[in-house]
Chains A and B, each alone.
Chain A
């Protein structure tokens, strides 16, 4: 199996992060860990990619950052919380993906071109 093209997935890093923030606020490492486990380790997001996604999302008002002491060891961490705009953006991205998938699917051979 080939690896994921970082160019393709880049546009959907935001979607993944917003999905993971949907229920509750979270912080950097937890999100990267969840992305890894949810994708069965097929996609490991780089720290720099994740951070640049956070700053972009924050700049666009899709997430809010706040500082809080962690429940377990009391370490101070930056948490991110999804905003209403963020939820709206997530819905748009989902619709976009459905359409993209539909279009690209038309050009993918069922046997993978073998």
Chain B
């Protein structure tokens, strides 16, 4: 009996507690209890009875639809949003597959862009021939990168509707995506960590090579760009795969029957509209400042402080507005 109760509670856990939902839950519980009692009376074992009751319970989506129609608020929302596009489990799987696939191609493209200048760095002779090779390498890398970006764009093109139209996912799909994201969590953390480490270590080749071969830079900068490139590759790939999960999970708005699956605390809301608009360009601006300062002064050993200050400032702004 406890198992059935838990099953019902789990099924209803994500639904908002409205009068209709409460009523439905009570009614379903009555029916399940009756069935269970009768099955036990007929000599079924507890396990058999639980199995039968659960297998004959049906699909909650069927019910959500029914409750959704009787739910006036939802009806109003649907009128505004037009028909909700329903994303099936198969579609969700395909989307995640495409997303993971293009995450790698996009990341590879970024990597190619970053190392495209390496030809010039390698060419220490400054000869015409050397310059020519370096230029060829740069344009070939960039061309390959653009090709990869375009390819990803085409692949992901068919999923554009996820962002444009009001879409929703059912409980099973959300549960599936949620589990996928949970199992990706460790990989994600590893990728980000390795990426950060690579970016930090990227200055080492330059430092080591210059101190060993006093003054000659040689392979140092090339290695630096390769390390940064790999680091960024990991960021982009991990971020894109994760974005796929988030996109699917945030399809349902909090007023949809199924409820939103993204914790509301994740969305930071600034009360002041101007501030919220300014904050949308906050991190790009910080990146810009960091790069400008670093490249102009070449004080790489100190410029990283920008990130620390920026993070503190952001927290302050969040606290105040």
Binding site for B on A (CB under 8 A): 27-30, 32-33, 44, 46-52, 54-56, 59, 77-78
Q: Does B66 contact A (CB under 8 A)?
A: yes
A50 to B57, CA, bound (A): 10
Cβ A78 vs Cβ B30 within 8 A:
yes
Query: Which residues does chain A contribute within 8 Å of B57, judged by CB atoms?
Result: 46-48
CB contact between A51 and one of B35, B38, B56, B63 (< 8 Å): that residue: B63
Nearest chain B CB to A25's CB is how many angstroms away? 15
CB contact between B58 and one of A27, A29, A49 (< 8 Å): that residue: A49
Q: Show 10 A/B contacts (Cβ-Cβ < 8 Å), sorted by A.
A: A28-B27, A46-B59, A47-B31, A47-B56, A50-B31, A51-B66, A52-B66, A54-B27, A55-B66, A78-B30
A56 to B59, CA, bound (A): 17
Query: Which residues does chain A contribute within 8 Å of B31, judged by CB atoms?
Result: 28-29, 32, 47, 50-51
- The 0/1 profile, CB within 8 Å of A marked 1, for residues 28-64 of chain B is 1011101100100000000000000000111110110
Cβ A78 vs Cβ B34 within 8 A:
no
Nearest chain A CB to B5's CB is how many angstroms away? 14
Cβ A46 vs Cβ B27 within 8 A:
no
User: Given A46-B58, A47-B58, A52–B63 Cβ distance below 8 Å?
Assistant: yes
Binding site for A on B (CB under 8 A): 24, 27-28, 30-32, 34-35, 38, 56-60, 62-63, 65-67, 70
Shortest Cβ distance from B20 into A: residue: A55
A76 to B56, CA, bound (A): 23
Cβ A56 vs Cβ B66 within 8 A:
yes
Cβ B24 vs Cβ A51 within 8 A:
yes
CB contact between B35 and one of A32, A49, A52 (< 8 Å): that residue: A32
A51 to B86, CA, bound (A): 23
Nearest chain A CB to B60's CB is how many angstroms away? 6
A52 to B59, CA, bound (A): 11
Shortest Cβ distance from A58 into B: residue: B70
Cβ A47 vs Cβ B32 within 8 A:
yes
* Given A28-B30, A47-B32, A55-B70: 14 more A-B contacts, CB < 8 Å: A28-B27, A28-B31, A29-B34, A29-B35, A30-B34, A46-B59, A47-B57, A48-B60, A49-B62, A51-B28, A51-B66, A52-B62, A52-B63, A54-B27
Cβ A48 vs Cβ B30 within 8 A:
no
Nearest chain B CB to A30's CB is how many angstroms away? 8
Cβ A51 vs Cβ B34 within 8 A:
no
Nearest chain A CB to B221's CB is how many angstroms away? 65
Query: Which residues does chain B contribute within 8 Å of A59, judged by CB atoms?
Result: 70
Query: Which residues does chain A contribute within 8 Å of B59, judged by CB atoms?
Result: 46, 48
A55 to B65, CA, bound (A): 11
Shortest Cβ distance from A32 into B: residue: B31
A44 to B55, CA, bound (A): 11
A78 to B31, CA, bound (A): 10
Query: Which residues does chain A contribute within 8 Å of B30, judged by CB atoms?
Result: 27-29, 77-78
CB contact between A33 and one of B28, B32, B38, B63 (< 8 Å): that residue: B38
A47 to B11, CA, bound (A): 13
Cβ A46 vs Cβ B56 within 8 A:
yes
Nearest chain A CB to B86's CB is how many angstroms away? 16
A44 to B24, CA, bound (A): 20
A29 to B27, CA, bound (A): 10
A28 to B58, CA, bound (A): 14
Cβ A29 vs Cβ B38 within 8 A:
yes
Query: Which residues does chain A contribute within 8 Å of B34, judged by CB atoms?
Result: 27-30
